[in-house]
């Protein structure tokens, strides 16, 4: 296991070498603020070997902290295009958060990290904070632009 891309003392992602399959990446949680005072944290796990095939996908795990989970579909908005990620599975719920999981194509995930205009819809609209945008730019440069 190797930690990569440090921001101060914070590591933005972990890597695990898988031989011929490539490298497994775990992108640590990034945060988005909701228009109705909600918050989402998202982390991503995927295998990448320098090329993306149409069937490649990533696991998206995310937590909501608003208590307003009106939808069971997560939508990523990249520039003017919406990507519906399909059925979302609830993993658990406690007093502070609800945890979910879904999948996204690796092509869409790459576009989400490399484009500047992005938001998430899950019962309400969530926008990245400026610190999140900077982290996403660093992650994109380190993983997808190499």
Task: Name the one residue in this structure whose structure tokens are 């890597």.
Answer: 15
Residue scoring higher pLDDT (3 or 56): 56
Please provide the distance, in angstroms rounded to a whole number, between the alpha carbons at the two ends of the chain: 19
pLDDT of 131 above 70: yes
CA-to-CA distance for 138 and 134, rounded, in angstroms? Answer: 6
Helix (H, G, I), strand (E, B) or coil at 110: helix
Region 52-63 average pLDDT: 92
Lowest mean pLDDT among 21-35, 37-51, 55-69: 55-69
Biggest distance spanned by C-alpha atoms of the chain:
45
Domain boundaries, the chain: 2-143
pLDDT of residue 9: 36
Identify the architecture of domain 2-143 in CATH.
Sandwich (2.60)
pLDDT at 8 over 80: no
Closest CA to 56 of 30, 32, 77, 25: 25
- What confidence score (pLDDT) does residue 10 get? 56
Could you tell me the two tokens for 73? 């579909």
For residue 51, give both structure tokens.
């090329």
pLDDT mean over 32-44: 91
């Amino acid at each position: 296991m190797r930690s990569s891309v440090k921001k101060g003392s914070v590591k933005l992602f972990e890597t695990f070498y898988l031989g011929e399959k490539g490298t497994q990446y775990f992108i640590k949680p990034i945060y988005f603020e909701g228009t109705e005072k909600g918050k989402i944290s998202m982390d991503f796990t995927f295998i990448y070997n320098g090329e993306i095939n149409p069937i490649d996908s990533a696991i998206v795990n995310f937590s909501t902290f608003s208590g307003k989970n009106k939808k069971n579909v997560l939508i990523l908005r990249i520039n003017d295009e919406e990507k519906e990620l399909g059925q979302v599975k609830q993993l658990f719920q406690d007093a502070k958060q609800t945890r979910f999981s879904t999948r996204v194509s690796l092509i869409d995930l790459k576009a989400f990290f490399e484009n500047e205009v992005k938001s998430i819809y899950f019962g309400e609209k969530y926008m990245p904070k400026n610190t999140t945008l900077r982290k996403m730019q660093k992650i994109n440069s380190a993983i997808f632009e190499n």
